[in-house]
Amino acid sequence: MRIFKIIVTILLLPALCVAQQHHSGGRSYLSAGLTQIKESENFGLVFSGPSLNYRHQLAFTSKNRIIMIENEAGAAIPFSKGIPALHIHLKPAEISWLFRNQKMNKNFTAGPMLKLEYDYTLYPQLQSAFDYWFTNISLGLNASFAIPVTNHSCAVRVKSSVAGFTSRQPNYRNPYWYDIGVMHALRHLHSGLQFSPPGSYNTSSLELTWEPHADSRFLWTYCFSYAGYFNDPALSIIDHSIRLTWNKKKHKR
């Protein structure tokens, strides 16, 4: 828990460092897609179903630097052989420090990223007494490249974790001890946090964005995201979605 408090403090530091930055506005995102989950404790079953997510982003810019602060919440209802599940995804904070070289290529930005992320799943008909979770506090990389085209623009963004701290449910829990519920979930999500080096887990995403014209209030993005925990109990989560983005302020011509 002490480690968790230290990392949360680090996540909040950028909010104290943006006073000298220019606030370039906020963006809100709504995405719908398909989520697939393979939990090793579920006998090899793959659960697939619709998902809905909301994300908000703030950006603070200077000449050669961008600080991005994002958060996200969403849910999915996947099925396998008619068996339903409930999957909840929360990302309270993702902080990126992006840098660009105006002389070399002003359309390319890259830098480190720090995030706190939760995935929480229930299988009421399959594992009615237990909840399943994957918590990761990750340090990674965030890079983007804008492709200007006449009258509109495209952009590519890639994110990937490198290392961090993770929490997963234990391999075995007493089948006579029911531990689902809100209070149990809050306690579990940070239980047994341990350092996870490269190769033990990964969370990555790819975003392809199309902006119809320069002063558009709306943007369309194809999003692919992956979360994998490679130790026992292994887990993989894949999500494909189409995201609608709307700007709070119109771009200036």
Residue 146 lies in a domain: yes
Residue 119 lies in a domain: yes
Residue 114, phi-psi category: left (phi > 0), alpha (psi -120 to 50), beta (remainder): beta
The CA distance from 146 to 149, in Å, is 10
Residue 252 lies in a domain: no
The CA angle 161-163-168, to the nearest 5 degrees, is 95
The CA distance from 187 to 212, in Å, is 45
pLDDT the model gives residue 120: 95
Q: Which tokens in the block code for residue 231? A: 């130790």
pLDDT the model gives residue 67: 93
pLDDT the model gives residue 64: 85
Domain count, the chain: 1
Contacts of 245 (CB under 8 A, 6+ apart): 27, 28, 29, 209, 218, 219, 220, 221
pLDDT the model gives residue 217: 75
Residue 52 lies in a domain: yes
Residue 61 lies in a domain: yes
Residue 49 lies in a domain: yes
pLDDT the model gives residue 214: 63
The CATH number of residue 91's host domain is: 2.40.128.100
**Residue ranges in the chain whose pLDDT is less than 50:** 15-16, 18-20, 250-253
Q: Which domain holds residue 32?
A: 2-247
Are 56 and 90 spatial neighbours (Cβ–Cβ below 8 Å)? no
Residue 114 lies in a domain: yes
pTM of the model: 0.86
